[in-house]
Chain A
């Protein structure tokens, strides 16, 4: 057995993760200048590296196939039902910042808050005979947020990419998506609601609560924890 650490297989999140770990004496060595999805961990004994797509890391943590993994808090909360029993979020890493927000067309000058959105949804249903559409890929987080705040008469429509363009394409009236700078929102004629922040997410070094851990693994995890806090 060995302790399995999952990292994103490419992109900004991988680079930042590698830097963050290196600063704590845990080094990721990639063969083949990073083109091959393999590599190894040096600086600490008994840790095996797994390079995974960002979307897989929460699932692997929850299933207990990796012990540690870097992923966004938003993905853990969205994709793992009952995540609290399966994954410890661990330390925030200071990168991968993304706010999950509710945004509406900027031209809706009458809508500033969730109260307004709810009233606009009632009016929309009365006038159009159907529910106001909100495009998102974060169905679970979106639904529980809107339910807790008593927003009614909306309907979630699935959007797995280019969510900001759905209103422009007439497939939705509003969106729930992640934003970092807000520039994409503005470019797509959208604005965030004043009280529409669902989650301020960033990258986390998460620990699986379900991964089988023998005595040797436990010792490695304890040694790691003293270095990286996870």
Chain B
């Protein structure tokens, strides 16, 4: 199997390589045919930037190499950030980009996932009609899977954020929940904590009971400032803790509401109807968006009402913050053949506050061939 590559027993030489190359060309023709400009980001990306955007998880997954002058560089673990970087550095809105090439991800010991594989994809950045663009990306990726059996799954983190916005609690609590949408265990621990706050330690109780002068004395008595977190931050957080301690426990109905939203699962038309039935006023704009997307999908010939929807889907993929989708193969050992979603907040971080609406999707050509796509 010397010529084996990701998910394939061949593909590195001769006829097998020809089949894969033909498939790659066909996919790129389809993506550029949708009006996307070809883009070819650098293989080596600044590790600092990826770490700042994705956090430590990426350091566990990306191959990091040292350059004596450039510092730490990472072999690109995906295309979304590298393409969005190129766009933020000089592209004009609206833009659509198509790309394909290798990505690299370290795999845990014992995993049979490949550490090097191909992705081909499209990114729509700065568009004016989000629902239509989400539908278009979904339909394009579905079309690129032609010939392979794959079951779609969709979700919408925008609905989850809207449900958090509709919760009756304080803004700091909502902000903490928003921040942990991608960490379900921590998210639920926070809900438990707000519903049934732990008793403060004696030290904490004394601090909460102290006035500002008392707090400043307590800080001074505790040592000296080391590191970059200063006294103002400690005092600010003591204020936040005081406010939180004075906040009544989260009502059972609030926790039940968010959990009910996250539990919605089924056909998209039925899911939308159920979400509408349980929605509070702040949730309706997100549900209107979902409805417009389903209409736009139907316009593109997708059986939109029947699309499987799971409100909790997408929570493992930090940086997606709206519509998310995936196409799963029934064949054992294959990853999702395609997938993607909306990542508006990420472009805002890359652009230093000035973001742009962005949605994209990818297919995995090798997995696609392994799943039986025609070359």
Contacts and interface: CB of A to CB of B under 8 A. Distances in A.
Contacts of B109: 81-82, 85
30 contacts: A82-B108, A85-B109, A105-B223, A105-B226, A106-B222, A107-B219, A107-B231, A109-B203, A109-B218, A109-B219, A109-B222, A110-B234, A110-B237, A110-B238, A118-B186, A120-B233, A123-B240, A130-B52, A132-B229, A133-B228, A153-B55, A153-B179, A154-B55, A154-B56, A155-B51, A155-B52, A155-B55, A155-B56, A170-B228, A194-B201
Nearest to B218: A109
B179 A152 contact: yes
Main secondary structure of the interface of B (DSSP, over half): helix
A122 B57 CA distance: 17
A128 B233 CA distance: 11
A156 B56 CA distance: 7
B60 interface: yes
B28 to A, nearest CB: 36
B201 A112 contact: yes
Interface stretch (A31-39, A47-55, A143-151, A212-220): A143-151
Nearest to A168: B226
Interface string B188-200: 0100010000000
Interface string B224-259: 111111010110111011000000000000000000
B244 to A, nearest CB: 10
A158 to B, nearest CB: 10
Contact of A146 (B56, B176, B219, B228): B56
A137 interface: no
A154 B57 CA distance: 11
Interface in B36-93: 51-52, 55-57, 59-60
A230 B68 CA distance: 45
B189 to A, nearest CB: 7
B204 interface: yes
Given A108-B234, A120-B229, A147-B57, 17 more contacts: A81-B108, A81-B109, A105-B223, A105-B225, A107-B224, A107-B226, A108-B229, A109-B215, A109-B234, A109-B238, A119-B176, A119-B237, A122-B179, A124-B228, A150-B186, A155-B52, A170-B227
Interface string A176-215: 0000000000001110001000000000000000000000
A70 interface: no
Contacts of A173: 227-229
A125 to B, nearest CB: 9
Contacts of B222: 106-109
A47 B108 CA distance: 35
B215, B218, B225, B227 pick with most chain A CB within 10 angstroms: B227
Interface residues of B, number: 42
Contacts of B333: none
B108, B203, B204 pick with most chain A CB within 10 angstroms: B204
B180 interface: yes
Contact of B241 (A108, A110, A140, A155): A110
B189 A150 contact: yes
Nearest to B220: A107
B139 interface: no
Contacts of B2: none
A150 B56 contact: no
Contacts of A108: 222, 229, 234
B185 interface: yes
A24 interface: no
Contacts of A101: none
Contacts of B228: 124, 128, 133, 170, 173
Contacts of B237: 110, 119-120, 123
Contacts of B186: 118, 149-150, 152
A33 to B, nearest CB: 42
Nearest to A189: B223
Contacts of B108: 81-82
A140 B234 CA distance: 29
Contacts of A107: 219, 222-226, 231, 234
B14 interface: no
Contact of B185 (A123, A139, A146, A150): A150
A7 B156 CA distance: 56
Q: Kindly list the 6 A-B residue pairs having the minimum CB-CB distance in the complex, ordered from nearest.
A: A150-B186, A82-B109, A173-B227, A167-B226, A167-B227, A106-B223
Contacts of B180: 150, 152
A149 B277 CA distance: 34
Nearest to A144: B60
A155 B51 CA distance: 8
Contacts of A147: 56-57
Contacts of A12: none
A87 interface: no
Nearest to B185: A150
Nearest to B60: A143
B210 to A, nearest CB: 10
A227 interface: no
Nearest to B189: A150
A168 B204 CA distance: 25
A225 interface: no
Contacts of B231: 107
A221 interface: no
Nearest to A188: B226
